[in-house]
Amino acid sequence: MNRGRFVALMLIVLGLMIAPMSASAADAVQEWKLVTPDGVVNIAPMKLAPRLTSLEGKTVVLQWNGKTNGDNFLNPIAEMLTQQFKGIKIVKAWELAPELKTISQNQANSQKIADKIAAWKPDLVIASQAD
């Protein structure tokens, strides 16, 4: 078989393969969903927590997610706060609840961590995500 006949035969076979697919595609109802790549996020206003005027007599929770050196950052902060403010209570979350020393992988887990910390009724939370 010469080259010209082979090319013609291949075009015919290809045409026969495509024809049934295009006919069935024309019969199907197409649905389109418009997606804009703007990156526009609707932000709802929220009420901010009142700002503290002093940390004297307040409870401060230190939260560490367990990444390397996070405790090396928070421990000196605890010492400085204790020296500067009378009656301050420092709560090291990773010591009181070791299960909180974790990197959250989803919103539900993050909410559980936040709820546990909120149960201690802190006036302030300082968190460290270190490496």
Q: What is the pLDDT of residue 53?
A: 93
Coil, strand or helix: which one is 48? Answer: coil
Residues of the chain with pLDDT under 70: 1, 18-27
Within a 10 A sphere around the Cβ of 111, how many other Cβ atoms? 11
Within a 10 A sphere around the Cβ of 21, how many other Cβ atoms? 9
- Contact by Cβ (8 Å): 88, 82: yes
pTM for the complete prediction? 0.64
Q: What is the pLDDT of residue 105?
A: 86
Q: What is the pLDDT of residue 21?
A: 58
Domain ranges of the chain: 59-128
**Position of tokens 């270190």?**
130
Q: What is the pLDDT of residue 74?
A: 96
